Amino acid sequence: MKPILIVGGGIAGLQAANILHQNNTDFILFEKQASVGGRVSSTKKDGFILDRGFQVLQTSYPEVQRSLDLSKLQLHFFESGAKVKDQLFFNPLRRPFDLFTFDILTFKDVFSLAKIWFRLQGEVPALDGNKQTTQELIESYTFSNRFKNEFLIPFFQGVFLQETLTQPASLFFYYMQQFLYGNAAIPTGGMQAIPDQMASSLPTDKLKLNQEIVAISPTSVTLKSGEIIEGDAVILAVDLPVAAKILGLQTPQTLASRTFYFSAKKAEKEPALLRLVGEQHLLHFTCLTDVNPELAPKGKALYSATSLQGSSEEEVKVALEKQLPGQKLTFIHSFDIPHSLQKVEAYETVKNAANGIVLAGDYLEFPSLQGALHSGSKAAEEILARS
Ligand SMILES: Cc1cc2nc3c(=O)[nH]c(=O)nc-3n(C[C@H](O)[C@H](O)[C@H](O)COP(=O)(O)OP(=O)(O)OC[C@H]3O[C@@H](n4cnc5c(N)ncnc54)[C@H](O)[C@@H]3O)c2cc1C
């Protein structure tokens, strides 16, 4: 028996490797970068831990529950809600008695939210094939302009990394269910702790880092050096643009993001909430040390700020300082991630071109850790079912 060859050490590839390993099936995983994790990674700089893009672990995702040891990640939790301008808005299911104290909510917003809540009872598929977009769905409810434009739209612009919410309405319902009933968290060591945990249960000699694969067939991979390695099967667990390139397809359009990190003197602790701004140079920001103090050296606060507009560091800093009067911010770092997320449905052509190569990756489902983990599980199970 030859090993199963896995190309890509992101969450999907690591998940496939773990399931093969748990089933005593030999594998080799090739990862282009020097570390595993792909889009889930963290960088250390000047004593700060900076996630590559603002990301959270949604603990209610079924595959997260099934695959990760959450207790070992030492999670720090966000409060469920958001701060909108200076108004606190908490998840009405957690604080039902506060419902009518939120300035941003009118009676018709409560009525529309109740209708959405009703739709969330029972199983909510992330993708149901319906063509209605999230933007169209939001417009179809009678939300007040204020709630829609200051909370709902900027919140989902941050989730989808899109200005116009063209992702399917089913995905809106699916995420709503996760946000309302689950918890968002960051591990003590930053998001990189997730792939590190997944890799820790794999034999290190099976993880080939700094190995870019340039060509594949259903039973072999070609390294950049020209070396060809044979296997029983190949799992292609790369991101959508690379999968398309390797399979000889046009590069599909993806969604970009830009996250900026700033430090300041530690201020008084505030509720651990996402803060929605919805302005040109600042969509949202968070004081990450209010969520997880371990991300910064003692006495320092760490802020992350996201803009979808290609804004400069100075533009974001000015916009953020306006939100934090009296705070003097120091720029630490920014991450430009051109292929952050993909539009769903973009995968069909890739699937059709696979020709015996087993695919894994969030793009096969929907952009999230759940999508990546589930696609990795399915790829490994498909291979195990062959023997
Ligand atoms: C800014 C941002 C915010 C996000 N926020 C959230 C969030 O809050 N919650 C959530 O659940 N999800 C979030 N996501 C999505 C989540 O990170 C992804 O869905 C998930 O990490 C995708 O995993 P993957 O394994 O499918 O792909 P990737 O992580 O892209 O993994 C692909 C791997 O393949 C490797 N590779 C590529 N080409 C080659 C090659 N030729 N040879 C060998 N290796 C190769 C890459 O280096 C990479 O390691 C966010 C993503 C971004 C970028």
Alpha-carbon gap, residue 358 to 207, rounded angstroms: 19
Confidence category of residue 11, pLDDT binned at 50, 70, 90:
very high
Exposed/middle/buried for 364, CB within 10 Å: 0-12, 13-18, 19+?
A: buried
- Delimit the domains of the chain by residue range: 4-40+192-249+343-386, 42-77+185-190+254-342, 90-182
Measured from the CA of 335, which atom of ligand 1 is nearest?
Answer: 1
Pocket of ligand 1 (CB under 6 A): 7-13, 30-33, 38-40, 53, 55-56, 58, 212-213, 237-239, 242, 257, 337, 340-341, 361-362, 367-369, 371-372
Over residues 349-365, mean pLDDT? 89
Which of 365, 276, 306, 296 is CA-nearest to residue 61? Answer: 365
Q: How many angstroms is it from 114 CA to the middle of ligand 1?
A: 34
| Res 16: pLDDT | 98
| Res 294: pLDDT | 96
- Distance between alpha carbon 67 and the CA centroid of its chain, in Å? 16
Protein residue closest via CA to atom 2 of ligand 1? 53
Contact partners, residue 372, CB within 8 Å, separation at least 6:
10, 11, 12, 15, 360, 361, 362, 365
Measured from the CA of 246, which atom of ligand 1 is nearest?
Answer: 41
Mean pLDDT of the chain: 94
Q: How many angstroms is it from 78 CA to the middle of ligand 1?
A: 22
Strands 254-265 and 274-279: unpaired
Same topology between domain 4-40+192-249+343-386 and domain 42-77+185-190+254-342: no
Measured from the CA of 12, which atom of ligand 1 is nearest?
Answer: 25
Structure tokens that stand for 155 in this block: 């919140």
Over residues 39-51, mean pLDDT? 97
Q: How many angstroms is it from 56 CA to the middle of ligand 1?
A: 13
Exposed/middle/buried for 281, CB within 10 Å: 0-12, 13-18, 19+?
A: buried
Exposed/middle/buried for 359, CB within 10 Å: 0-12, 13-18, 19+?
A: buried
| Res 345: pLDDT | 67
Q: What are phi and psi of 145, to 5 degrees?
A: -60, -35
Alpha-carbon gap, residue 128 to 337, rounded angstroms: 28
Structure tokens that stand for 118 in this block: 């009703």
Protein residue closest via CA to atom 4 of ligand 1? 55
Best residue among 64, 238, 247 to mutate for probing ligand 1's pocket (most ligand atoms within 8 Å of CB) is: 238
Exposed/middle/buried for 374, CB within 10 Å: 0-12, 13-18, 19+?
A: buried
Decide: helix, strand or coil at residue 383: helix
Measured from the CA of 13, which atom of ligand 1 is nearest?
Answer: 25
Best residue among 50, 55, 61, 186 to mutate for probing ligand 1's pocket (most ligand atoms within 8 Å of CB) is: 55
| Res 99: pLDDT | 77
| Res 346: pLDDT | 64
Q: What count of Cα atoms within 13 Å lies in the side-chain half-sphere of residue 189? A: 11
Topology given in CATH for the domain delimited by 42-77+185-190+254-342: Polyamine Oxidase; Chain A, domain 2 (3.90.660)
pLDDT digits (tens, 9 = 90+) for 172-222: 999 999 999 999 999 999 999 999 999 999 999 999 999 999 999 999 999
Best residue among 239, 245, 333, 363 to mutate for probing ligand 1's pocket (most ligand atoms within 8 Å of CB) is: 239
> How many residues comprise the chain?
387
Topology given in CATH for the domain delimited by 4-40+192-249+343-386: FAD/NAD(P)-binding domain (3.50.50)
Rounded to the nearest 5 degrees, what angle is found at the Cα of 8, between the Cα atoms of 361 and 66?
55
Judge whether residue 100 has pLDDT over 90: no
Q: DSSP secondary-structure letter at 94?
A: T
Best residue among 39, 192, 286 to mutate for probing ligand 1's pocket (most ligand atoms within 8 Å of CB) is: 39
Confidence category of residue 338, pLDDT binned at 50, 70, 90:
confident
Measured from the CA of 242, which atom of ligand 1 is nearest?
Answer: 38
* Other beta carbons within 10 Å of 262: 24
Protein residue closest via CA to atom 26 of ligand 1? 361
pLDDT digits (tens, 9 = 90+) for 269-297: 889 999 999 999 999 999 999 999 999 99
Alpha-carbon gap, residue 320 to 132, rounded angstroms: 34
pLDDT digits (tens, 9 = 90+) for 125-147: 999 888 899 999 999 999 999 99
| Res 241: pLDDT | 92
Structure tokens that stand for 109 in this block: 């917003």
Range of weakest confidence among 93-97, 142-146, 316-320:
93-97
Judge whether residue 45 has pLDDT over 80: yes
Alpha-carbon gap, residue 16 to 67, rounded angstroms: 11
Judge whether residue 87 has pLDDT over 90: no
Extended beta strands in the chain, E state? 4-7, 27-30, 42-45, 48-51, 57-58, 75-77, 81-84, 87-90, 184-187, 207-208, 213-217, 220-223, 228-230, 233-236, 254-265, 274-279, 282-287, 300-307, 330-342, 358-359
- Tell me if 264 sits within 8 A of 307, measured CB to CB: no
Structure tokens that stand for 378 in this block: 């399915």
- Phi-psi bin for 386: left (phi > 0), alpha (psi -120 to 50), beta? alpha
